[in-house]
Amino acid sequence: MKRRIEQLSALGQEERLAIFRLLVRAGPQGNCVDQIKRRLKTPGSTLSHHLDTLTRSGLLSARRAGRFIHYAVNWREAANLIRFLTEDCCAEMHARFSPDPQTGAGVGNPCCSQAAKRPRRTRRAAAASEKAEARTSSENGNRRP
């Protein structure tokens, strides 16, 4: 749980998210610091701190190859993070936000599109949302009143 918070806040920063996305695309071999530095044009010391933050969160792992240190995405942890969010939200989304239970289309979330085809709405969830949705159904309108 604390780990998830660290990971979310690690990704919740422009430069670190850019690093992470770069490394996702770099694949399992990753990139050495110098490559990242040249691509993102970040000063070495700053980059090093960001890499440390991402590594301590578990999202990256580092391996030395001679003078170079390659940072790569730790896929297992990335999957765990997505699962964490999915389990907290996606299950609810399937139950409550499936715009067309017949086709499963509408959410447009590849993470959900498969599962949404068979509405997984539990008895409990259905009852709860029924009661709740009876009164108001906003689901939009963003700003504070």
**Please, which of residues 19-48 interact with DNA by CB under 7 A?**
32-35, 37, 42-48
Half-sphere exposure at residue 45, Cβ-oriented, CA atoms within 13 angstroms: 0
Return the number of the residue (4 or 121) whose C-beta is nearest DNA.
4
**Which of 47, 68, 66, 50 lies closest to 10 in space, CA to CA?**
50
Nearby residues of 8 by Cβ (< 8 Å), 6 or more positions away:
81
Give yes or no for residue 15 binding DNA (CB under 7 A).
yes
Could you say which of 7, 11, 53, 74 contacts DNA (CB under 7 A)?
Answer: 53
Ranges within 64-93 binding DNA (CB under 7 A) = 64, 66-70
Please name the helix (run of DSSP H) or strand (run of DSSP E) that holds residue 31, with its range, or none: strand 31-32
Residues engaged in binding DNA (CB under 7 A): 9, 13-16, 32-35, 37, 42-53, 62, 64, 66-70, 144
